[in-house]
């Protein structure tokens, strides 16, 4: 028996239950953006988690790319309910003896202790400064921006003032600035290095965009110098102007726009 015309072609579409539920036809916010806005990760990373089945909406696993979340939907990521938060950007002038982690199982002081009242949203440090390094550290719940600021390919400017235990020779400055300089058998590309004007030759400014752990200290230690003080004075165009050690402040709208244009 042949199917009737009413069950074929265009006439069958009004009875198709999938049409109204097409994720592309819904209003709302795309699921990957919703996850990124919640500070979990970048949109691209969110797509991976969605595909892997880590996300549910109203109790149902969603794996479609482009699915849109409505205002009253309940979204869970790895069984934890999440919600998009207003983006916050906090700049801290970090003092010594604080570690750049959210929490520490040894009970040491963390940078989160210094910004606990800076925002009601959950914010996280962008990158790290080791315990004895001072200077600029950015906090945000903007996952996409955080990833951009920490990836070497974006060449985010980081300028450090280094105080050493003895004068740095001009030959060592040239060696560090060369294209063939290596630390632990790996090349290190230093964007700029020089003595600090008006200071002893043991005070050096170094600009670098490498994200390797403790790389500035390792550069000088590899040449026989001991780093007495290390201070990050510029990060992604942000400076310590009018920001005392141990204090934090929200970024201005202009500073936020500048970061997003990097």
Q: What is the pLDDT of residue 26?
A: 61
pLDDT-derived band of residue 215, with 50, 70 and 90 as boundaries?
Answer: very high
Mean pLDDT in residue range 235-250: 96
* Catalytic one of 73, 78, 113, 130: 130
How many other C-beta atoms are found inside a 10 Å radius of the C-beta of residue 23?
15
Q: In the predicted model, what is the mean pLDDT of the chain? A: 87
pLDDT above 60: residue 14: no
Cβ contacts of residue 111 below 8 Å, gap of 6+? 92, 94, 98, 99, 100, 101, 125, 137, 139
Active site residue 130: yes
pTM above 0.85, yes or no: no
pLDDT per position as a tens digit, 37-78: 887 888 899 999 999 999 999 999 999 989 999 988 999 999
Q: Which domains does the chain carry?
A: 20-82 (3.10.290.10), 89-152+239-260 (3.30.70.580), 157-235 (3.30.2350.10)
The pLDDT tens digits of the residues spanning 116-154 come to 999 988 899 998 899 999 999 999 988 888 888 988 777
Whole-number pLDDT of residue 13: 40
Helical axes 253-260 vs 143-150, angle rounded to 10°? 60
Provide the token pair at 206: 């170094």
Task: Give the Cβ contact number of residue 87 at 10 Å.
Answer: 17
pLDDT of residue 20: 35
Given a contact cutoff of 8 angstroms between Cβ atoms, the answer to whether 206 and 179 are in contact is: no
């Amino acid at each position: 028996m042949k199917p009737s015309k009413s069950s074929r072609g265009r006439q069958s579409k009004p009875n198709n239950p999938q049409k109204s539920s097409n994720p592309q036809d819904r209003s709302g916010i795309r699921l990957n953006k919703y996850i990124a806005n919640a500070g979990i990760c970048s949109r691209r990373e969110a797509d991976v988690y969605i595909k892997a089945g880590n996300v549910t909406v109203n109790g149902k696993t969603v794996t479609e790319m482009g699915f849109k979340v409505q205002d009253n939907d309940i979204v869970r990521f790895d069984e934890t309910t999440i919600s998009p938060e207003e983006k916050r950007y906090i700049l801290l002038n970090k003092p010594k003896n604080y570690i750049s982690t959210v929490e520490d199982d040894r009970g040491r002081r963390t940078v989160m202790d210094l910004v606990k009242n800076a925002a009601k949203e959950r914010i996280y440090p962008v990158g790290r400064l080791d315990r004895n390094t001072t200077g600029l550290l950015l906090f945000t719940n903007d996952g996409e921006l955080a990833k951009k600021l920490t990836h070497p390919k974006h060449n985010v400017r980081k300028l450090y003032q280094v105080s050493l235990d003895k004068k740095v020779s001009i030959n060592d400055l040239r060696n560090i600035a060369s294209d063939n300089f290596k630390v632990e058998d790996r090349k290190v590309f230093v964007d700029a290095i020089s003595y600090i004007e008006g200071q002893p030759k043991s005070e050096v400014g170094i600009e670098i965009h490498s994200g390797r752990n403790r790389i500035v200290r390792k550069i000088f230690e590899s040449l026989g110098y001991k780093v007495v003080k290390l201070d990050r004075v510029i990060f992604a165009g942000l400076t310590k102007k009018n920001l005392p050690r141990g204090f934090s402040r929200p970024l201005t709208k202009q500073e936020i726009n500048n970061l997003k244009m990097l």
